[in-house]
Amino acid sequence: MEAVLRAEDIHVTYPNGVRANVGVTLEVRGGEVLGLLGENGAGKTTLVKVLSGLLRPDKGRIIYMGREVVFNTPRDALRLGIILAPQTPRLFPGLTVAEDVGLTMRLAGRGMGLQEVRRRLREISREYGLGVDPDARVWRLSMGERQRVNLAKIIMLDARVALLDEPTTHLTPMERRSLVQVMRRMASEGRAVVFITHRIGEALEACDRIAVMRKGRLVGVVERGEASREQLLRMMFGDYTPSKPSRRSGGPGAGRVLELVEVWVRGPHGTWAVRGASMSVEEGCVVGVAGVAGNGQRELFETVVGLRRPVRGRVLLMGVDVTRAPPLARRRMGMAVIPEERLGWGLVPGRSIVFNIAFAHAWLDGGFMVDWQSYRRLAEEIVSAMKVKARSVEDPVDSLSGGNMQRLLLGRELLRGARLVAAMNPTAGLDARTAEAVDSMLVEAASRGAGVLVFSEDLDELMTISDKIYVMSRGRLHGPFMRPFDYKAVAAAMTAG
């Protein structure tokens, strides 16, 4: 197979001194799925940003079809058919899917009428099984759905090189499997697909060749047939080997921390998002809510937290009816919240670590004056206890990596001694080591007696840490499924009506 795109001796150093790419040379061939495997911070995203024109390397060359090219803007790469689907898809919230896709088509020099865009999107969606509705407004789509929009966009643009940055982040096991099929199919059409992932299993399943990166360097490239799990692990982590957090045995306690009784909730559009959901979370117990994104999990989570009021049904916290109680009252009762958006909901962007600790605590602590001294000490305690990598607690939270943000957030929420922990996709986008740490912290909170409610799109993760699992599908809760879990039964419930 011929090399379509070749990165030669790419060097990138960020202004903060991080050497993200150190002499990376990599070849992408037409008709293959090339895995780019590595931990968070290994330099995978930096490399594809360089290849897609989003970032100019300090040194190095990009060769496209045997010719050296220089990308000044992403549009230059787009015109050659090199397209990047970022890990967190960024679409225009107020536009429809067709408008968003059509806009990119136009800017890529392949403009067509809106009707034509809608027709072709529908075709592609059906053909590849993407479930994309061209007339849906972007702001109502889940991250998983937005990811599928980006895939449809890549197919529509007839990309020669598709760079997929952690496309499985927001997908469920079934969706992941169908994504693998989509990638294989794109490769069989002669396209080059670069598949970034930190999951070895995925890489082995989907890729023809696997390139492993560690700390900004390319460690090596292995062919599909020659790659073994152990070898890839060694290449990714060096001497370190991650392990799954183990769930201690022992049944759930008697006390119900959270109980939902026949809860009906409307979504932002006024339609029913949650249809008569009943569930309970016992103390000392991890309860998982699985399901494909966009089946009402978000609305249910917001109902538990107190941001959305159910139209019918009751929410009980520690046996007390809190259906009409605001989030602050629930937090005072011992509720901790780990939202999906670490920055923006969990943490205030642009503000310091101290501010973010104080901000969450001051409302609970009451009083008129803010005791910055004590919050500074608290922030330092949290940072050291949670091993947050930060130069100073006065640094803005934005300067932290995703994993460190999540550590900080967990520290703030859990170290108070929460009785109910509500977490939405707590490990999304984190590397193996951090995800493992986050899961262990949630399990640990449960062993200290808290009831932990985890919404996740990662069924494997839920099966590892949960005592019982509910499955959400089209606004209804199925289950509970108890340990030991029957994978097939749980997965089947995901597609139930």
Partner 1 sequence: MNPAAIMLTGLSEATPLLLAALGEMIVERSGRVNLGVEGMMAVGAAAAAYAGVYTGSLAASLAFGALAACLLALVYVVAVVILGLDQIVVGLILVFMGKGLADIIGSWAGGAPGTPLTPIPGLGIDLVETASLALPPILWLILYHSWLGVELRAVGEDEEEAAARGINVRLVRGLAVLVGAALAGIGGAYVADAFHYGRWFSGVTEGLGWIAIADVILGYWHPLGVLAACYLTGLLFAVKPLLPVLGVPAELVDAAPYLAVLAAQVVATVICRRLGLTPPASVWWGELTG
| Residues 15-54: x where in contact with partner 1 by CB under 8 A, - otherwise, as a string | ---------------------------------------x
Is the Cβ of residue 75 or residue 324 nearer to partner 1 in the bound state? 75
Q: Rank residues 102 and 245 by Cβ distance to partner 1 and give the closer one.
A: 102
CA distance 26 to 7: 5
Q: Which of 119, 137, 217, 377 binds partner 1 (CB under 8 A)?
A: 137
Question: Least distance in Å: CB of 430 to partner 1?
Answer: 24
Q: In whole angstroms, how close is the CB of 267 to partner 1 at the nearest point?
A: 11
> Minimum distance from CB of 418 to partner 1 (Å)?
24
Closest approach of Cβ 136 to partner 1, in Å? 9
Q: How would you class 391 by CB atoms within 10 Å of its CB: exposed for 0-12, middle for 13-18, buried for 19 or more? A: exposed
CB-based burial label for 188 (10 Å; 0-12, 13-18, 19+): exposed
CB closer to partner 1 out of 15 and 270 = 270
Total binding residues toward partner 1, as defined by CB under 8 A: 26
Q: How far is the CB of 98 from partner 1 (least distance, A)?
A: 9
User: Cα separation of 378 and 381, whole Å?
Assistant: 5
Instruction: Give the CA distances from residue 289 to residues 354, 451, 471, in Å, rounded to whole numbers and listed in that order.
Output: 32, 13, 6
Closest residue by Cα to residue 312 from 267, 258, 275, 280: 275
Contact between 119 and partner 1 by CB under 8 A: the answer reads no
Q: 133: which residues sit within 8 A by CB, 6+ positions away?
A: 97, 125
C-alpha 330/C-alpha 332 separation (Å) is 5
Task: Give the C-alpha separation, 118 to 189, whole Å.
Answer: 23
- Closest distance between partner 1 and the C-beta of residue 80, in Å? 14
Smallest gap from Cβ 486 to partner 1, in A, equals 38
Binding map of partner 1 across residues 70-109, x = CB under 8 A, - = no contact? ---xxx--x-----------xxxxxx---xx-xxx-xx--
Using CA atoms, how far apart are residues 292 and 177, in angstroms rounded to an integer?
Answer: 13
Please give the structure tokens belonging to residue 122. 């529908």
Pick the closer one to partner 1 by CB: 102 or 403.
Answer: 102
Q: Nearest distance from residue 462's CB to partner 1, in Å?
A: 27
Q: Which is nearer to partner 1, 284 or 306 (CB)?
A: 306
Beta strands in 283-438 (DSSP E): 286-290, 312-317, 320-321, 335-338, 420-424
- By CB under 8 A, tell whether 268 contacts partner 1: yes
Query: Residue 349 interacts with partner 1 (CB under 8 A)?
Result: no
The verdict on 270 binding partner 1 (CB under 8 A) reads yes
Q: Which stretch binds partner 1 (CB under 8 A): 16-24, 133-141, 196-204, 311-319?
A: 133-141
Which string of x and - marks every residue 58-77 that binds partner 1 (by CB under 8 A)? ---------------xxx--
Segment interacting with partner 1 (CB under 8 A) among 136-144, 162-170, 257-265, 427-435: 136-144
**CA–CA dist 429, 28 (Å, integer):** 24
* Residues 6+ away with beta carbon under 8 Å from 369: none
User: 497, exposed or middle or buried, with CB in 10 Å at 0-12, 13-18, 19+?
Assistant: exposed
Query: Between the CA atoms of 96, 98, 99 and 101, what dihedral angle is there, to the nearest 10 degrees?
Result: 120
The site for partner 1 (CB under 8 A) is made up of 54, 73-75, 78, 90-95, 99-100, 102-104, 106-107, 111, 114, 137, 139-140, 268-270
